[in-house]
Amino acid sequence: MIIGLTGTNGAGKGAVADLLVARGFKYTSLSDAIRSWLDDQGIAESRQALTQAGRTLRRQGGAGVLAERLLTSLSGGGDYLVDSIRNPAEVAALRGRADFRLIEVRADETVRFERIVARRRGGDVATFEAFSAQEAAELTSTDSAGQQLAATAALADVVIDNSGSLDDLTAAVARVLETLRAEGTGRA
């Protein structure tokens, strides 16, 4: 099975990823391909650099290029987790595999901002106003090579709300995984 994760900044995709890895999923991220490209170009990693590089790569290779590159490495069976899906074309490429399911991770905007401030990751915004402006730009880019989080989320097979505790999230992930496994290759 391949599970893909999408969601807004601070929603808890990393926490869901950790829970799935603990259950045996092999982790990979579309952002890793972008990070590698940045490194090859000698560009320091930042949220802005990742966003721009993602656009550049999508313009050069098509909107689904990051997922297409990744699919070649997902062989030999087993369970895989693909993090950082931000464009509907990436979902389309991954849906080439019958065992792919997309999970959107959601959380309340205030909760997400508080998480971002608490994690102190380089490139994260420091004010709620900047957070809201950044999110607006990522949700609905009219550029097919840009991030289109709202359109990508609309393609999700399953939605997990992560506005509560880690225990709540752990239970929700267990339920979703149980449902997906029971359904086999059918749509969730």
pLDDT in tens, 61-119: 888 888 988 887 887 778 999 998 988 999 999 999 889 999 999 998 889 898 888 88
Residue 22 lies in a domain: yes
Element (H, E) at 110: helix 109-119
Residue 188 included in any domain = no
Count structural domains, the chain. Answer: 1
Helix (H, G, I), strand (E, B) or coil at 120: coil
Residue whose token pair is 């490209």: 37
Domain-located, residue 50 = yes
pLDDT at 81: 96
Supply the range of the domain harboring residue 148.
2-183
pLDDT of 185 > 50? The answer is no
CATH number of the domain that 129 lies in?
A: 3.40.50.300
In a domain, 36, yes or no: yes
Share the mean pLDDT of the chain. Answer: 87
- What sign does the dihedral 175-180-183-184 (CA atoms) show? negative
Residue 188's pLDDT band (cuts 50, 70, 90): very low
Residue 102 lies in a domain: yes
Q: Which of 6-10, 24-28, 124-128, 135-139 has the lowest mean pLDDT?
A: 135-139
Q: What angle do CA 170, 165, 17 make, to 5 degrees?
A: 40
pLDDT of res. 36: 84
Q: Is the per-residue pLDDT at 139 higher than 90?
A: no
Contact between residue 5 and residue 13 where contact means Cβ atoms under 8 Å apart: yes
115 belongs to a structural domain:
yes
Is the predicted pLDDT of residue 152 greater than 50, yes or no? yes
Higher-confidence residue: 58 or 162? 162
Q: What is the spatial distance between Cα 97 and Cα 95, in angstroms, rounded to a whole number?
A: 5
Mean pLDDT lowest for which of 4-18, 31-45, 158-172?
31-45
Q: Is the dihedral of CA 81, 84, 86, 90 positive or negative?
A: negative
